[in-house]
Amino acid sequence: MEFSVPILSRWVSRLTKRNIFASVSRSTVHTGSASSKEEIENESDVRVHEDIPKAPLYPGHIPTTLAQKVLISVGSALAAITDPFRDDMVAVFGETTGTLAFRELHKIMSNDPEGRQILRDRPRIHTSTLDLDYLRQLPEETFGHAYYRFLADNNVTPDSRLAVQFVDDPELAYVAQRYREVHDLIHTLLEMPTHMLGEVTVKWVEAIHTKMPMCSTGALFGAVRLRPKQRRDYVSSHLPWALRVGYNAKNLMCVYYEKHWEMPLLELQHSLNIEPFPRKQSMQDHMPSLQKSGLVA
């Protein structure tokens, strides 16, 4: 049978909805005697489950072996590369390849006062924890209002972020979930839109701050899909800026975003050492000098 990307995609999609591995150990090899059959079944149980946690470690957790994680990683990576808008495949790839990155992020957050507070409080970002009407009514220059405007302009909701399933440690699972839920906040903080160029730019910053293979892969392969005009902007301005922000700004996983809603966006950027994006000057920007020269009234 041909093992194509669509088949892998459907298989991983089903896996994320239910733990199919529970049924793997129940498969048996039919032999001539019942005792032999039972013995083989027991050996299969041990072999399949030897490196899987005995029970789910948190709600929604799907325990998997290293071999199973590798298979899931390959399938989700191929599906995500083929269709970058498959958020479910991108999420699965991030979980199954990010263990080392999550450990390092947990260490970084533990050594930062604000990051440590996040790990203690474990805040979640979805409509049941956010007062969107409050954010809407904040002054336009605030970070909170900018986030509300980002959600409204892009017709997105915080509830669209999937729950972590394949990370075999509750502490690291929260780090992975936190990364997933602050992604739109990072977009807001960096003032980057959600088109391909904006996503690739944000992914470079995230790749430097999180060291997640998923972010690095997204940044590299996403750049390949840029249109010619976007590619020119990417090389001339977006990529150099993203690298400077990535290496110079405070780690964005250590920002307790929920405590900065009322802070002016520019002030928050400055406090995190985020360099303003080098936007092209418009005709309005040049108007004072043009008026002074007498070229316009």
Q: Could you tell me which residues are annotated as the binding site? A: 183-184, 187, 199
How many whole angstroms separate alpha carbon 33 and alpha carbon 10? 37
* CA distances, 123 to each of 117, 160, 178, 224 (Å): 10, 17, 8, 35
Residues in the annotated binding site for Zn(2+): 183-184, 187, 199
Quote the longest CA-to-CA distance of the chain.
Answer: 101
Give the residues across from 264 on adjacent strands: 142
How many whole angstroms separate alpha carbon 109 and alpha carbon 116? 5
If you search the block for the tokens 């041990």, which residue do you land on? 46
Q: Which two tokens stand for residue 171?
A: 């502490």
Contacts of 102 (CB under 8 A, 6+ apart): 167, 169, 172, 175, 176
